Amino acid sequence: MNVESGKWNSLRIFERFMKSIQFIGTQRSGSNLLRVMLNQHPRISAPHPPHILQVMMPFLKMYGDLSRDENFRALVDDVCTLVERNPVNWDVHFVRDEVTRRCTNRSLPQVMKAVYEIKAQEKNADIWCCKSMASVFYMNEITAADITPLWLWLYRDGRDVACSFRKAVVGEKHVYFLAQQWKKEQELSLIQTHKSPDNSVVMRYEEFTPDPESSLRMICAKLKIDYDPEMLNYADSKESKITAASGEMWSNLVRPVMKNNTRKFESELSYDDILIFESVAGDLLKELNYECVTEISERITFTPEEIAEFAVINDRMKKEAREKAPEDMTKRAAQDTFIQSLKKRFSEYEKQTV
């Protein structure tokens, strides 16, 4: 048998049987901690997410008919560039033709799958994991592209999520918009995991952090792989160190698990902020077995004028967060500059199609 031909066929078989994990839910819920733990398993590749679907889906129509080779090649090239400029370096330069070859259909989720597969194959792993929780908005597109991941829904008390986002360089800042985001993303995750229970794992942050081993064993069982205790030795891993050095919001990845990192909102949010959050998402907090602080009779229906005022405050708070973290923004500059170039191209495309 020709050696090169045998190697090629082996790679194709390896690709065909790769499994995948897709995180869903809302960031600031312990997802990066879980990611670096999973990445310690020899069979799982869980790199830091460049948020491929979140970034690229809004621009997708400017690539035109993806059945045309030149259009699909342009999409592949832009996705690869986005990943190569991720603030947490994947240490991969993608051969564009190899990414294209791996796509079994011409869709953005298939391009995402291809780059994750290439990263996994470098580790000799047969399971790739996408930690981009914003993919919760594109679950239909993922399944339509013939990708069937294990849906991994990690959720946390939304009021604590709001506290965490307020300290982060990214994300919404006003509690009204944080409540809206958290509610929508949990509702979508709830629908998906109810729809495909045999292909889902549901994890509660407040149960995961005190006993991560039980949660990791549950995931491994669902994937039909052996549990590896090395997953708990994440703090000294190369992936944790690289991620922690890439931004203050990930600095805890080189520290032990914070086992009692709960109900921080009680000291960090004002009563008015809690009232706003529970007015928006109190019903869902209750459905997920979180105790509300405010009474139902206190809940507010906000007017358009009030929401507009919240938006002004939100924009100001986001700007202040960026200004307070110049080093983090510098580390994000390469990818942010590329995303800005995509926005400019998209704007020009829209002008031409009017």
Instruction: Give residues with Cβ within 8 angstroms of 302, minimum separation 6.
Output: 176, 276, 279, 310
Does 239 map to a domain?
yes
Does 309 map to a domain?
no
Does 2 map to a domain?
no
Does 339 map to a domain?
yes
Q: What amino acid is encoded at 336 in this protein?
A: D
DSSP letters for 308-343: HHHHHHHHHHHHHHHHT-HHHHHHHHHHHHHHHHHH
Residue 318, token pair as written in the block: 């986001």
Does 267 map to a domain?
no
Does 103 map to a domain?
yes
The phi and psi torsions of 67 (rounded to 5 degrees) equal -75, -15
Give the pLDDT confidence score for residue 204 in this predicted structure: 98
Cross-strand bridge partners of residue 22: 130, 151
Q: Which domain holds residue 78?
A: 11-155+196-261+324-353
Tell which residue, 81, 139, 149, has the closest CA to residue 113.
149
Does 277 map to a domain?
no
Does 288 map to a domain?
no
Judge contact between 231 and 44, C-beta under 8 A: no
Judge contact between 75 and 63, C-beta under 8 A: yes
DSSP category for residue 248: G
- Its pTM stands at 0.94
Q: CATH number of the domain at 38, please.
A: 3.40.50
Work out how many domains the chain is built from and give that number.
Answer: 1
Predicted confidence pLDDT, tens digits, the chain (354 residues): 444 444 444 455 455 679 999 999 999 999 999 999 999 999 999 999 999 999 999 999 999 999 999 999 999 999 999 999 999 999 999 999 999 999 999 999 999 999 999 999 999 999 999 999 999 999 999 999 999 999 999 999 999 999 999 999 999 999 999 999 999 999 999 999 999 999 999 999 999 999 999 999 999 999 999 999 999 999 999 999 999 999 989 999 999 999 989 999 999 999 999 999 999 999 999 999 999 999 999 999 999 999 999 999 999 999 999 999 999 999 999 999 999 999 999 999 999 987
Torsion on CA atoms 133, 137, 143, 144, rounded to nearest 10? -150
Half-sphere exposure of 53 (CA within 13 A, CB side): 24
